[in-house]
Amino acid sequence: MSDCPDWGLLISEAAHGPREGLPDGARGEGSPERMNIRNCIDPKSLPDYGGLSLARSLSCAAGCVPEAKVSFDKVEIPYGAYWSTPFARWQGSLQHLHSLKLAAHVAKAELQQRNVSPDVFDYGVLGLTIVQFQAFYGAPWPLYDIGLKHVAGPTVSQVCATGARVLLNAASEIQVGMATTALAITADRVSNGPHIVYPAPGGPGGTAASEDQVLYNFSHDPIGGHAMLQTAENVAHKVGITTEEQHDVVLMRHAQYGEALKDDHAFQARYMTLPFAVPKPNFKGEATILKGDEGIHSTTAEGLAKLRPVLDGGSVTYGAQTHPADGNCAMIVTTPAKARDLSRDPAIRVRILGFGQGRADLGFMPEAPIVASRHALANANLSIEDIRAVKSHNPFAVNDIAFSRATGFPLERMNNFGCSLVWGHPQGPTGMRAIIELIEELAIAGGGIGLFQGCAAGDSSVAAIIEVSDR
């Protein structure tokens, strides 16, 4: 990330403000009384949110009920049985590689490195958000290439929440007894996004509809017509978050990421093979070498101070946003008995305590993780005081500030060792890498409970709670 990255420009330059008819609140206007939690959460239990009750700040579908308590006592993540490629800023060193082929190429090598046979798996799930050539075939294709030739499974897509959703899918399959060991893969290439044409025989002269899957959707919410950047501005305006506060968070997050790079990337080496050999497009031979994440530029207070908000009258600058990226992550999910055999250190236990999902009002995407986190905590019978570390998918610095204000969780205890605001956002893999880093942070700290939360397009979110302990 640099003082002037290209993400904000590309998601906002096509947007000329919200379309006419966008509901009150999507512009940061209107009465807060129109927003409510309804039956989901007891409003009396919710903290004040920048002068507004969270019960009035976030909404829930009509008639929703409290989430059921769901146990994942039959599920564990083997410690160390996960990996990530470096993330490369879009149009960088990974732009020429098919995301599913690269994910299979990496997974095969990582399993061999861990002496894990493909025969141990009886389930697989793929998280993918950006269409690739023949991605129609979904999970069975990369699974076969990895060596799981008789293993089936679905392809899951929830945009930026895909990583956590994939983990939930794998854990659920094991919890209900339909599988014992799952390979959960997340892969995306935001670079060179597809140009899609939709036949429209009934259109004027049969003229087809078309979209650039990446750029058009960054800039056009199908319901409200607004860009994703507008959602950050809406929350910043509503809660009163200044440009200076956002830049302070950016500097903090870069400093935290710097800790992961110390001692020759010692933290990242716990889950990432470095240096990373980038294959040629035909996967025969080496194209280049990545020493770590690519396209992250130094950020200074002086440089940030020179930036102006992207939108007139706004507060969010290019420097307070993430950048699109390419990469992949994967994770093994299994039963407690098998986790011992698959772990790098069998004495360390990694459990899943709960999940939650949430949706904010239209045009208020950065608020959604607050709702999802509350649901996840309730599902696990925990409070925010029980959480030792938080990892967020934070496409905007606004996300972290809003979450901290709503929950009271200190900003400086969030996103140690890195986050998507800094290392970039390849969509499907983003949340899974954050969860992997959360596990490693807790292991270094001697154990504890961690929370992952992140927003996604459609003003939605998925949160996950992980516990690391001695076995």
> What would the pLDDT profile of 20-75 be if each residue is shown by its tens digit?
334 444 433 333 332 332 333 343 443 333 333 333 333 343 334 344 578 999 99
Q: Residue 204: pLDDT above 50?
A: yes
Q: Mean pLDDT score of the chain, rounded to an integer? A: 89
Which of the four pLDDT bands, split at 50, 70 and 90, describes residue 5? very low
Per-state percent for the chain, helix, strand, coil, to nearest 5:
40, 20, 40
pLDDT of 69:
78
Roughly what angle, to the nearest 10 degrees, separates helices 162-175 and 428-444? 70
Q: Residue 16: pLDDT above 70?
A: no
pLDDT of 68:
56
Domain count, the chain: 1
Structural domain boundaries, residue 136: 1-471
pLDDT in tens, 136-148: 999 999 999 999 9
Give the H or E element holding residue 168: helix 162-175
Mean pLDDT within 105-112: 98
CATH at 177: 3.40.47.10
Cα distances (Å, whole numbers) of residue 248 to 109, 308, 443: 40, 15, 28
Q: And the tokens for 113?
A: 């490195």
Q: And the tokens for 98?
A: 């098919």
Residue 324: φ, ψ to 5°:
-65, 150
pLDDT in tens, 315-351: 999 999 999 999 999 999 999 999 999 999 999 999 9
pLDDT of 291:
98
pLDDT in tens, 361-389: 999 999 999 999 999 999 999 999 999 99
pTM, whole model, 2 decimals? 0.87
Are 332 and 82 spatial neighbours (Cβ–Cβ below 8 Å)?
Answer: yes
